[in-house]
Structure 1
Amino acid sequence: MKSYVLAAAFAACFAAPAMAQEASAFTGFRVEGLVGYDNVGAPGIKNPDGFLYGVGVGYDIAAGGAVIGIEADVTDSTAKIKLAGPDIETDRDLYVGARVGTVLGSGLLYAKAGYTNARIEVNGFGGSNEDGFRLGLGYEYAISAKSFVKVEYRYSNYEADVSRNQAVAAFGVRF
C-alpha cells in the first residue's frame, strides 16, 4: 500500500501543468563536485565506510513537465578495512547513466539508473574491477540560474556480491 501512495505522489508531480514552465531552469550542460559518505558491503567482512569525493558531468533537457538527462561521474573513497592480513580498500568508481525528474518549486526531484564499475584493491594481492548497476534518488536545488546544490542517495550492486550505499552532496554549475 505504501508503494502505491509513493507512486501516485510521484505521478502527480509529473501531471502538474505549472511545472512545465520551470523545467527549463534545469537544462543544459553541468559540472559538479561531489562529496559524501560511502559504505561498502562484501560477504564475510565488516562493511567499511569512508569519505567519498569526485566530479560529475551531465546534460539535461526539458521534456514537457519532466527533465531528462545523461550523466557520468568519477569518484574515489577512503573506505578501507584491515583484516588479519591485507588491507581491502575501494579505489575509483566510474558511473554513466540517466536521470529523470520533475521540478518542485526551485528544485528538481529525480531518480537515476545506470552502469557502474568499481576498482577494489587488496594490498599485496592486486585488485579487481567489478561491473554493476546503480540506482538513486536525489533533489537538486537551484541557487541561481547557473549554480545548484544537490543531495542524493545511491545504491550500487557489483559482481562478487559487493554493494555500496552512498549519501552524496554536490555543488555544481550549469553552462
Structure 2
Amino acid sequence: MKTVIFAAIAAACVSAPAFAQDAAPFTGPRAGVTMGYDKFDGEEGFSYGVTAGYDLALAPRVTGGVEVSLGDSTVDGAGFDASRDLAASLRLGFVATPRVLAFGKVGYASSRVEALGTGSAFEGVRFGGGLEFAATPNTYISAEYQRTEYEQNIGGRDAAVVGVGFRF
C-alpha cells in the first residue's frame, strides 16, 4: 500500500509542471485573511481569521491542496460565547476561467465554546466550497461557504466568508 501511495505522489509531482500553465495563478503557497457571517447554535455574529495553504496542479484545470485556518467569532448567545476555531482541510479546485477557481473542501475542525465560566472544545467535520478570483498573478479575492458538523450532537456551525490573500 505504501508503494502505491508513493507512486501516486511521485506521478503527481512529475506531471505537475506540465499542468502548471493551466492552473498558473492557483498553485503554490498562499496566505490570507477572512471575515464574514457566522452562525452557531441559532446565534449570529461576525467571524474573522487567517488562512494558509498550498495548492498543486493535479491535471489540466484541476488543483488540489491543503489549507489550515485559525479564526475567532463574535457569536455570543444565552450563556455561551463561541471563540477560537481551528481547521485543517483538503481542497480540490477546478479552473473555470484563467482567473476564476471554483473549489470544494473537507476537513477537521476544532472550535472552542465558553459556557458558564468554562471552555470546551468541540470537534467535527468541516466542508464547504467557494470561488477564488485571481486579481493579479499573486493576489486573490475569495468567497466561500463553510459548514461544520460537530461530533457531540450539538448541531452545526455555518459561515459565509470573504477573503483576500497572496500567493508566493
TM-score between both structures, scaled by the size of structure 2: 0.84
2:71 maps to: 75
Percent identity reads 37
- Residue-by-residue CA offset, 1:101-130 (whole Å, 9 max, x unaligned): 110111100000000000010143x02111
User: How far did residue 48 of structure 1 move?
Assistant: 0.8
- 1:95 partnered with 2:87: yes
SS in 2 for 1:141: strand
Equivalent in 141, 145, 162 of residue 133 of structure 2: 141
Choose between structure 1 and 2: higher strand proportion. Answer: 2
Task: Tell me which amino acid in the other structure corresponds to 2:51.
Answer: G
- Residue-by-residue CA offset, 1:11-38 (whole Å, 9 max, x unaligned): xxxxxxxx97431220010001010100
User: How far did residue 146 of structure 1 move?
Assistant: 0.3
- Counterpart contact for 1:60–1:68, Cα < 8 Å: yes
1:48 maps to: 43
* Unpaired stretches in structure 2, ≥5 consecutive residues: 1-18
1:13 maps to: none
- Residue-by-residue CA offset, 1:150-170 (whole Å, 9 max, x unaligned): 000000011322310110100
Pairing 1:1-175 to 2, within 5 Å after superposition:
21-41=21-41, 47-65=42-60, 66-82=62-78, 87-105=79-97, 106-124=99-117, 126-162=118-154, 163-175=156-168
- Counterpart contact for 2:91–2:105, Cα < 8 Å: yes
* Paired positions, count: 147
> What is the rounded CA distance, in whole Å, between the counterparts of 1:23 and 1:173 in structure 2?
16
- Counterpart contact for 1:24–1:61, Cα < 8 Å: no
